[in-house]
Structure 1
Amino acid sequence: MSASDSSTFPLVGLQAVSNAQHQWVALAFHLTPQAGLAAPALAQLFAYPDMRAALAPLDFIVSLDDPLHVDEALAASLPAQHTILRVPAAACARNEVQNRCRALAERGFRLMVDGEAGLDAGKAGMRALSADAGGGLPSMVSILTLAGPHWVSNVADKACLANWRSAGFSWFSGAYSREGAAEAPNSDGTSRKRLLALLGLLARDADSRELEILLKQDPALAYHLLKLVNSAAFAPPAPIHSFTQAINVLGRRQLQRWLQLLLYARQQDDGGANALLPLAAVRGAQMEFLSRERGGDRDAQDMAFVAGVFSLLDVLLGMPMTEIVSALSLDLDVVRALLDRAGPLGDMLALTETERPDPARLQALGIDTETHWRGLLQAYHWAIQVSRNL
């Protein structure tokens, strides 16, 4: 893409949508006001090289103020089978909108009504419902008359999640995904201490033998590591059964990275995946990308990756970040980023934590909107792969 194209590229954020098992099922696109008209911005996004391949196999949720803006050219550029068009409930009252929505449904698009569904939503061919958890539950008539899956955003915590799930919603997004799992009441903290010890070994680039000894004490972590190296991502010529082989296959640098992410791979009490895992992967990969784009060498990129992945350790371990960094031998720049979001790494970390990017923050980092989008694609692609392999 040329520099002139980059200067007019739309600013967009991505929001992960998960099912009840905390697995990503879709990505919601958030166009900022600076993106201008939605239709041209969407056309530019979906025409971006390898965009669909990077985010496969997830569905795309695209919010429209007015479905009449989706002309034939835009409709042809969107992957109909993987695109859910989200339409305001109020817009469904117009006959021309109902006709256009039914035409889009015939082309393979799925339609989601945002707000209380009524007869007009049915006339427009709506199949699913979206709601904001802060606005209260829709009527059961609205929920039951549409096939779904229904999506609720801004889910604050797990209690809120359970409430909406019992009401018939099966797709969720919000701060609940950044809640840690409470340690069992009768736990002596051994698992947490072991994780901190492993993090300490990784931080000081410990000998492989030391890592192996600690891995053998954690069956869950050991299982995930061996599962990883035997996955299609590495395609070993013969099955790998020992940690020494695993370390040799991955190499020291990749071993450190994967182990940092494996810490998040533990199953939750409800049997679902750990919702923190893909979030940590996105932050780590995006931080590494931003560091590289700003001229960082390999060591700087590694530190950026660590800062991104470790930014959720306080949630994972259920302890203050100050205690975590005091137990690890981290670079001062990483410590400043984790504790205060200070310094160059802190500035980049603050950016990765936002689902709706701030143009002023991007400008301060010297990152244009097209570069930001390219980084998002790479980061989310990495997170999707991580979730598949762990």
Structure 2
Amino acid sequence: MTQNRGIGTFLPVMNGKQQLQALQADFGDMPVGEVFSILQFLNESEFFSRLSPISLLVKISDVAQIPVDLDTRLPVARVTLCVPEMHVSDKDVQLRLKHFSSLGVTVLLDDFNASYEPAWEGARNLGVDCHAAIPVQVKPWLGRLHTGMHLAKNLSSATLQEQAVEAGFKWLAGDYAFNPPASNKAADASARTRLLKLLGLVARDAESRELEELFKQDTTLSFMLFKLVSSAAFAQTVRVSSFGQAINLLGRRQLQRWLQLLLYARQHDNGGGLNPLMPRAAFRASLMEAICHKQGGNKDQLDCAFMVGMFSLLDKLFGNPLAEVLQPLNLHTDVLDALLHKSGQLGKCLDLVERADRAHAGFDMTLLGEIGLKPDEYYDCVISAYAWVNQVCQDM
């Protein structure tokens, strides 16, 4: 029987190359005991095995409520306890943290002030609120504790994200992906045109010859195609020798999805890393598809849900209104209504999806009931979505 579990959101934590490193669980003001009950459920649901080697960051204000036998309940090597600095001055709290560290749990001193010595001498990993700026006083501590996995959280812009990397933070979290630099608007217009034309050709099931001609016009696009079919995700044992062979090996459905992803890949120069929007779009697309699957959707409905999630960030990508960006794609009315007005079942699903990787305060529990999704099903969908994001980050 499905329990009426509380719901948490999971914020992606990336490295400087915008590869998924961890998930920051946000359960709002949920009691610590209930939080660890959910974490045990997630472990039983193969959260950690399906998302290997991703870490899980959990903010804990009351250390006394953490189960002493945590190592028997969770794979502690994959868990990071984020404990606010203001709560670690007590000697009993410090003894408990030392105990958890001895079990193999990573402890992160959260909301680090940096104006004075850390309140706990065992601190090796720091979490800093960087919403407004990167605090100048934190940089010496990052250098002193250079082996730690330091988290810059609440990063609100691409500029702050770049500054955080330069300062020495290893983990990056926040809404910076949704506030890209103005240079995104000056993206390669010819590359965008080719990608949109390719998507149109795939949608109408054009002959491979037509697809090949467009691929041949773009060296980078050709490279990405061959890299994709050679990746571990497809485990191809055949050496690819032609564009037609690569397209056939990949298949039209997968080709369409990866072309959608490449819209994001080609629009940003991130120092050799991924466009920060790509993993966020991939999460939305995969979560939309997973929810549709739970609802019993057929193949066409699954593809439609995936597309809605993937295209929902094109306005951020191109710096233009979404209606304007979508105009040349000739999308179905249901898709347009979901993207532009969040109407219909697809629109409600998109509303939920857009909240699932943000702060818990913005999550609307009523949406689960409106789309007929149970808490356990929600968690399973989130796990599936992040598993695909993890794969995308490795393959692209």
What's the TM-score, normalizing by structure 2?
0.89
Distance 1:369 1:281, change over 3 A: same
Q: Deviations over 1:4-38 (max 9, x none)?
A: xx233231211111122222211111114467734
Distance 1:184 1:360, change over 3 A: closer
Q: Could you say which residue in structure 2 is the equivalent of 1:8?
A: 4
136-145 or 76-85: bigger deviation: 136-145
Of 81, 85, 88, the match for 1:85: 81
CA contact (8 A) 1:177 1:276 kept: yes
Distance 1:248 1:275, change over 3 A: same
176-185 or 64-73: bigger deviation: 176-185
360-369 or 190-199: bigger deviation: 190-199
- Secondary structure at the aligned position of 2:383 is classed as helix
Q: Could you say which residue in structure 2 is the equivalent of 1:367?
A: 373
- Report the Cα distance in structure 1 between the residues aligned to 2:89 and 2:120, rounded to whole angstroms: 10
- Report the Cα distance in structure 2 between the residues aligned to 1:143 and 1:375, rounded to whole angstroms: 36
Amino acid paired to 1:193: T
Q: Could you say which residue in structure 2 is the equivalent of 1:318?
A: 319
Q: Could you say which residue in structure 1 is the equivalent of 2:92?
A: 96
Of 128, 134, 158, the match for 1:131: 128
- Secondary structure at the aligned position of 1:172 is classed as strand
Gaps of 5+ in 2: none
Q: How many residues align?
A: 385
Q: Could you say which residue in structure 2 is the equivalent of 1:291?
A: 292
1:229 Cα deviation from its structure 2 partner:
0.6
Distance 1:255 1:187, change over 3 A: closer
136-145 or 373-382: bigger deviation: 136-145
Of 365, 378, 384, the match for 2:384: 378
1:241 Cα deviation from its structure 2 partner:
2.8
Alignment of 1:257-268 (within 5 A): 257-266=257-266, 268=269
Amino acid paired to 2:45: P
- Secondary structure at the aligned position of 1:93 is classed as coil
Of 37, 40, 46, the match for 1:41: 37
- Report the Cα distance in structure 2 between the residues aligned to 1:13 and 1:183, rounded to whole angstroms: 31
Q: Could you say which residue in structure 2 is the equivalent of 1:247?
A: 247
Distance 1:180 1:209, change over 3 A: farther
- Report the Cα distance in structure 1 between the residues aligned to 2:274 and 2:213, rounded to whole angstroms: 26
- Report the Cα distance in structure 1 between the residues aligned to 2:176 and 2:187, rounded to whole angstroms: 23
1:182 Cα deviation from its structure 2 partner:
4.7
- Report the Cα distance in structure 2 between the residues aligned to 1:331 and 1:163, rounded to whole angstroms: 41
Distance 1:370 1:34, change over 3 A: farther
Q: Could you say which residue in structure 2 is the equivalent of 1:24?
A: 20
What's the TM-score, normalizing by structure 1?
0.90
Gaps of 5+ in 1: none
- Report the Cα distance in structure 2 between the residues aligned to 1:30 and 1:54, rounded to whole angstroms: 20
1:121 paired with 2:119, answer yes
- Report the Cα distance in structure 1 between the residues aligned to 2:343 and 2:32, rounded to whole angstroms: 32
